[in-house]
Chains A and B, each alone.
Chain A
Amino acid sequence: MEQNKKITPIMTYKHGLNVKKHRKTTLLINYYQGLTDELEADIKNGYQHSKDLIEGIYEESVKPYQQQLQGITKNDATRDLKSKTYDKKQYWARRKYRQTLIRKQDDQIDQKLLEYDQTHQLERDNFIQKLTLKYPHKDLTNTEIDRLNQKIASCEEKKEKQIQRVTEKYEDRLKKLESFKLKNTKRIQEKELLNERLSKEIDHYNQQVLIDDQALLKTYLNDLDVMQSAKVLPKSAEKIQAKIDRIETTLRTIENTNIHLSIHNLKMFFGGIKAVNDLTFDVKKGEIFGLIGPNGAGKTTVFNCITQFYKATSGDMIFRNKEGNIVDLNERKTHDIINEGIARSFQNVELIWELTVLDNLLVAAHSLLITNYFEHMVHSKRMQREEAVLRTKGMQILMDLGISEYAYRSPYGLPYGILKKIELARTLMTNPTLIILDEPAAGLNDAETEDLAKVIKSINHKYGITIFLVEHDMGLVMSICDTVCAISFGKKIGIGTPKEIQQNTEVRAAYLGDDSDE
């Protein structure tokens, strides 16, 4: 019956490795592409820096000689220095004298100060006279001028030599850069080839899975028919039904390329409490999808199921990931979800107070790292560069959201509206395709909410990211969402455009209470 061989666990494992490798290679290619430009800039800047340093040293060493040539001989310089130190001393002595007068609460402070000034002016004149006698001005003789000129010339020679050496080094490095560029392009090509191969393998695997699924679907349907006719236990029939559902949902998602996240019959029971029960909806690509419901309706539970904090009791969550492949989120671990392209924010802001805002964004970029512990231990060049790149990226995002002025301070004590925006920036750091926002407007005032709505809209528009949010603030939901899904006690009671939801009687009942109660 089945012509193709089945998917073995080994193949699945290999597929997982391939996907990981593919992502890492993509990051590496990006890294290498930036490398040449940066190296070039680095070389040029380094050259300029050394040249500036040499120039500075030259200026410094030549300055005394030039001063002498200009007529300020050594004697003049010493005299100047001595008189200056004398003046400084006198200044502090005068201040001390004045302070003592003030402390004694003398009545004739001004007069006494005037006397003091006069006596000290005389002293100063005497001192200067002595100085001029001791260090008289002497014009330079011709031999001395020659010697000075020689010294300046030698300095200049030294400078020329140093600059020449630096220039040679610079040219050498430029030459090396050329060969490096060649090597780098080669490396990039290699990686691209590898990536092509990997993506082919991934595609192949996905097709294989599809074929298998279709075959399985047929057998399952047959089985179900047999079971129903034989009237076996309903539990095993349910299991088969769940498997059929999963495959059908997957197939539907593959067919309809517009669907970003498809949730089918999601159930989450905590003991006897049915937090989410048979929830089904699709999030379309590039839309803003709102999930609303009264308190305790199970909205956050849905989020936690999607991000795999809770393993759903049953139900399917099929997601179209970053690369456009279809994945079953139930098979992923919590920390892998972000690699598929889903980033989430939290209801109560989960920032690290010990770090600056920018560092908080860097934490979020953890899934984009290409370096490992050992590079972190020695602070390798690669790691430093990566950090610089991520910092620029974080700064760019902060600027886009209009909060760049807070980049270098701790988030501690910032207004709540800003914190919410930082959370938003953090989700953006990871190049997601779907952002899950858990009550973004909770605790914000009207102006802040309006601002946030604008930001969310602009993110959706600018980055083309699908946004899926839970919200209590009806104004926000109705103004920005393209589709709204209303749930109550874990059950869907309505889905549609905001207008449709507003006119939905069931939703009204859920929010305002049953008609029968009135």
Chain B
Amino acid sequence: MKLYYLEKIKPFMKKPHFGFLIVGVLLVILRLLVNVLPPDIYGAIVTTAYYYLAGLGFALLLGYGGLASLGTGAFVGIGAFTLHFVFRYLAMPLTLAIIAGIILAILVSIAFGFVSLRISGMYLAIVTMGLSQIVIEVIRNIPQYASGTTGGFLSGPMARPLEFLGMRLNSNSAVLFTAVFVVIGMMIVHNLIHSSTGRALLSIKNSDTAAQTMGINLLKYRLFAFVISGVYGTLAGILSMLFVRNGNVSQIGITFALNILAAVVIGGTKSVWGIMLGTFVIFGLDLAVFQRFNLGNYSLIINGALIILVVMFYPGGLIQLFGDVKRFMIKQISKVKAHIYGTE
């Protein structure tokens, strides 16, 4: 037993993947505590969890590829409304609906990648914004199939409750899906950024020309980054649809894309944990903290001020805060110790 622990479990526990697994376990525990926790905190955490996926995908694009895209909202929309459409109107099983969403996302993100092939910087942001607007308009203008503004799965003419493997899924059980996807998503992003692909993306961000002389195919990697971020965004949309049960086109516009951008920048573009923090600040803080203290009206203002503070004092992201706090604590403790006991 002890041998097994030393040989297998201990090395695994030292890996970062263990931390990701813990996140999944915590989400599952959260599901079990649903009756104990206040609903607003529960909602805040789940919302953070699924938008965190969109943030992760976007971080790969922005932090590693250096591609500031504003098209995240379109992919969240694609995820939510493809699920809605395929499950409700085509009457397919849930798994198939999810797969259909992912495939559509891959196709659309390849289109995004091709359109923005030779563009970078501000122009890329504008082009992707336009593209995402097209996607959103397409969703908005086919109300019969796509728009979720009219309601979720149980209202309307072709009501169909969400089922997975013959079991009826209630909104809270969908958190289990979130847990699975978040763990897998974190692992994949972590693996990618610690591999040749991540380094290749970084080198493209650093210098196109140098990357090309080293044999890095710009087109291939740009498309890859777009596809990954698109699939992650779509997963976020799917999970949001599973949890909230109805989507709204107005939620996934440019504001959402900017929110994701803010989340990634606040958290720290190069850290898997930092993005989680940033997403919570943007999407969860309002529900979990401000509204508790009746500050809901000021939440946007407070959030804005917070963003300014973070960008001013922690340009590398909020994740730096932890290191700083730790260092500060160690320093303070040693100071107090020296005050009481003196130096040897």
User: Which residue from B3, B195, B216, B340 sits with its C-beta under 8 Å from A96?
Assistant: B340
Contact A373 B197 (CB under 8 A): yes
User: In the complex, are the beta carbons of A335 and B218 less than 8 A apart?
Assistant: yes
Q: Is A307 in the interface zone, CB < 8 Å from B?
A: yes
B196-A378 in contact (CB<8A): no
The smallest C-beta distance from B323 to any residue of chain A, in angstroms, reads 17
Q: A371 touching B216 by the CB < 8 A rule?
A: no
Interface size bucket, B side? 20 to 34
Residues of chain A lying within 8 A (CB to CB) of residue B200: 363, 366
Quick check: is A359 within 8 A (CB to CB) of the other chain? yes
Q: Contact between A367 and B215 (Cβ–Cβ < 8 Å)?
A: yes
How far is B3's CA from A380's CA once the two chains are assembled, in angstroms? Answer: 25
Q: Name A406-423 residues within 8 Å CB distance of B.
A: none
A339 lies within 8 A of B6 (CB):
no
- Contact string against A for B residues 303-344, beta-carbon threshold 8 Å, 1 for contact and 0 otherwise: 000000000000000000000000000000000000111101
Give chain A nearest CB distance to B201 CB in angstroms: 10
* B contact patch SS: helix
Chain A residues with CB under 8 Å of B150's CB are none
A343–B215 Cα distance when bound, in Å, is: 9
CB closest residue in chain A, given B209: A309
- Cα(A426)–Cα(B203), bound, Å: 13
Q: Which of A99, A309, A363, A377 contacts B192 (CB 8 A)?
A: A377
| Given A366-B214, A366-B216; A162-B3 close (CB under 8 Å) | yes
Chain A residues whose C-beta falls within 8 Å of the C-beta of B342 in the assembled complex: 95, 98-99, 102
The distance from the CB of B64 to the nearest CB of chain A, in whole angstroms, is 10
* B7 proximity list for chain A (CB < 8 A): 49-50, 53
Bound-state CA distance A96–B337 (Å) is: 10
Question: Is B199 an interface residue, CB under 8 A from the partner?
Answer: yes
Contact of A335 among B2, B207, B215 (CB under 8 A): B215
Instruction: Tell yes or no: A114 within 8 A of B by CB.
Output: no
What's the Cα separation between A103 and B285 when bound, in Å? 46
A102: B residues at CB distance < 8 A: 342
Q: Is the interface of A mostly helix, strand, loop or mixed?
A: helix
* Pairwise interchain contact A352-B202, C-beta atoms closer than 8 A: yes
| Choice from B202, B214, B224 contacting A367 with Cβ under 8 Å | B214
Q: Is A337 an interface residue (CB 8 A)?
A: yes
Q: Is A88 engaged at the interface, CB distance under 8 Å to the other chain?
A: no
A57 near B6: Cβ-Cβ < 8 Å: yes
Please report the C-alpha to C-alpha distance between residue A334 and residue B209 in the assembled complex, in whole angstroms. Answer: 9
In chain B, residues 187-207, which have Cβ atoms closer than 8 Å to a Cβ of chain A? 188, 191-192, 194-200, 202-203, 206-207
Residue A270 at the chain B interface, CB threshold 8 Å: no
In the complex, which residue of chain A has the Cβ closest to the Cβ of B194? A379
Give complex CA distance A397, B218 in Å: 27
Expressed in whole angstroms, the Cα–Cα distance for A339 and B198 within the complex equals 21
> Is B270 in contact with chain A by the CB < 8 A criterion?
yes
Instruction: Tell me whether A335 and B217 are in contact (CB under 8 A).
Output: yes
Q: How far is the CA of A102 from the CA of B270 in the complex (A)?
A: 49
Contact across chains for B270 and A354 when beta carbons are under 8 A apart: yes
Cβ-based interface call for B297 (8 A): no
A95-B342, A343-B213, A367-B215 as given contacts; A377 in contact with B191, CB under 8 Å: yes
Q: For B224, what are the chain A residues with a Cβ–Cβ distance below 8 Å?
A: 373
Measured CB to CB, the closest approach of chain B to A331, in angstroms, equals 16
A363 touching B214, Cβ below 8 Å: yes
CB neighbours of B203 from chain A (8 A): 352, 363
**Cβ distance B57 to chain A, nearest Cβ, rounded Å:** 13
A337 to B194, CA, bound (A): 26
Contact of B215 among A50, A366, A373 (CB under 8 A): A366
- 12 interchain pairs, CB-CB under 8 A: A96-B341, A309-B209, A335-B212, A338-B214, A339-B215, A350-B209, A352-B199, A363-B203, A366-B196, A367-B215, A369-B196, A373-B224
**Top 10 A-B pairs, shortest CB-CB distance:** A367-B215, A99-B342, A350-B210, A376-B195, A338-B215, A334-B212, A95-B341, A376-B197, A379-B191, A363-B199
Residues of chain B whose beta carbon lies under 8 Å from any beta carbon of chain A: 2-3, 6-7, 188, 191-192, 194-200, 202-203, 206-207, 209-210, 212-218, 224, 270, 339-342, 344
Given A335-B218, A376-B196, A426-B214, 13 other A-B contacts at CB below 8 A? A54-B3, A92-B341, A96-B341, A99-B340, A334-B212, A335-B213, A335-B216, A359-B199, A363-B199, A366-B200, A366-B214, A376-B197, A383-B196
